[in-house]
Amino acid sequence: MAGEPQSDCLFCKIVAGEVPATLVRETETTLAFRDINPQAPTHVLVIPRLHYPDAASLAAAAPSVAADVLREAGEVAEQEKIDGSGYRIVLNTGAGAGQTVFHAHAHVLGGRGLNWPPG
């Protein structure tokens, strides 16, 4: 159920401290940690502490938490010193878009040129 921890969710396990992660920032509603398979020199994931399967369900059920995720993505960029050179925030929704962990999360990518279109 949305908003409740899922026993089979990797990110819920990270929030609970059951799986280690390299934390970058944390707030009452979010957690930010380094991606274990970085696609750029800076690649940090920002997740809501509560479980929502994707960005669309998070935005529909908890728009203030969705805003917290985006705000924290900006804070991560500033802390990592990529805010001046530019960075990308990516929210994949669904397997066809590349989502592999079905807990809403934003990728903060930077530290190199990010071409357009992506992919």
Q: How far apart are CA 5 and CA 12, in angstroms?
A: 6
Residues belonging to the chain: 119
Cβ–Cβ under 8 Å, residues 24 and 78: no
Q: How far apart are CA 99 and CA 81, in angstroms?
A: 26
Cβ–Cβ under 8 Å, residues 45 and 103: no
Q: What is the CA radius of gyration of the chain?
A: 14
Any idea which residues carry the catalytic annotation?
Answer: 105
